[in-house]
Amino acid sequence: MTDYGAIRNKYLEGGKESTLAHVEEVANTAEWLGRIHGLDVEKLRLAAMLHDVSAVISPDEMYRIATERGMVIDPAEEKYRFLLHQRISKIMAREEFGVTDEDVLSAIECHTTLKKGASVYDKAVFLADKISWDRGGVPPYYNELKTRAEKSLDDACLYFIRYQFDNGLLLMPHTWLTEAYEELKGMGDTKFSFRKATAEDCLALSELKKTVWNSTYQGIYPQERLDGYDVKKNEEIFRGIVANPEIELYVAEDAGEIVGFMTVGKPYKLYEEYDQEVGLLYIRKDYQRKGIGRRFMDIAKAEVEAKGFDRFILSVNAQNAGAIAFYTAMGGEIVLDDGGQKRIMHKIAK
Ligand SMILES: [Fe+2]
Ligand SMILES: [Fe+2]
């Protein structure tokens, strides 16, 4: 169990009351973002509470620690030693507070500069830190950043970094920040957002399922089966899922249009022996390979973990090689059932 009392004391004993007030503010903001985006809010709270813990030591001391440990020092850190505080906070989180969760440690480590390949936790803590401004007044980017962060973490990160570059706020950009910026730009400024579905989405979901079915199972399922897809009937099935308290239905949107969806929760009767199941996961073909599936898997893991389970099953059509490769790359292992049907079991690392 996390000892938040010990963390608070660390700041207080170091004479850092204002930093403590700031990290508590960041924790609330991170939790708010986590709820919107379906993330594990405990991880976010812990990362936020520890992100500036190295404030109790001076930048010169941080520099000494970094060199003693043989850490590779970025030219920007060489010049502005304070920039090392994110990496030193990570070391303190691990060594003084026993944090082992890699999502938490990583989010602490890059909260100022972000980094290439940043996770949703990295992005949420990075944004929460910027939204919870600690230098008095309201920063000029505040409203825009907050609105964007509610819709898409990627878009908000891109907006903030671009803002820093465009307004000459970076005397010497850290390599991690430059790399994160390039990567986010390369994502094509897409504004995917993720939220839980409502009853109003059900017709769009049914139509999307039909579209994905046709593109994925052309030549795999008999044509009569594809032609026999009943939009109305499937809309009703989606309504049933939305109304079911044991299953969560998430949608991915691009500029207000639903382009993917996923269900996670109590398994359908075929898979009762498993704790939890990702039942449906559909992404429109032109939106595949853009990070949506990865986000859905993060959301599924957070949901399953929040319910106290540590694994979930996902069944994949044995002929869908691309999907099998993707889910196993996401950490799943293949389980074959009696009929030779492939299922991918995801175990959540504790
Ligand atoms: Fe910081
Ligand atoms: Fe901070």
Q: What does the pLDDT read at residue 160?
A: 95
Q: What is the structure's pLDDT at 189?
A: 43
pLDDT for the residue 207: 97
Residues of the chain with pLDDT under 50: 189
Contact 252, 192 (CB under 8 A): yes
Cα Dmax for the chain: 72
- Determine the pLDDT at residue 338: 65
242-280 residue pLDDT tens: 999 999 999 999 888 999 999 999 987 767 778 899 989
Nearest-ligand number for the alpha carbon of 48: 2
Residue 135 carries which DSSP code?
A: S
Ligand nearest to the CA of 23: 2
Helix extents (H) in the chain = 4-13, 17-37, 41-50, 59-68, 75-79, 85-97, 102-109, 120-131, 142-151, 153-166, 175-186, 202-217, 223-227, 231-243, 292-306, 321-329
Report how far ligand 1's centroid is from the alpha carbon of 98 (Å). Answer: 20
Rounded to two decimals, what is the model's pTM?
0.58
> pLDDT by residue (tens digit) across 290-339?
778 888 988 898 899 888 998 898 888 777 777 787 787 777 888 777 66
The pLDDT, as a whole number, for residue 202 is 97
CA 264 to centroid of ligand 2, rounded, Å: 34
The pLDDT score that the predictor gives to residue 272 is: 74
**How high is the pLDDT of residue 153?**
92
How many whole angstroms from 224 Cα to the centroid of ligand 1? 59
Amino acid (one-letter) located at 297 = M
Cα radius of gyration rounded to whole Å, the chain: 22
What type of residue is 23?
A: V
Backbone CA torsion sign across 54, 60, 63, 67: negative
Domains and CATH numbers, the chain: 4-187 (1.10.3210.10), 192-347 (3.40.630.30)
Two structure tokens written together for 149 = 């962060």
Q: What pLDDT does residue 259 have?
A: 96
**Model pLDDT, residue 339:** 67
**Packing angle, helices 41-50 and 120-131, rounded to 10:** 50
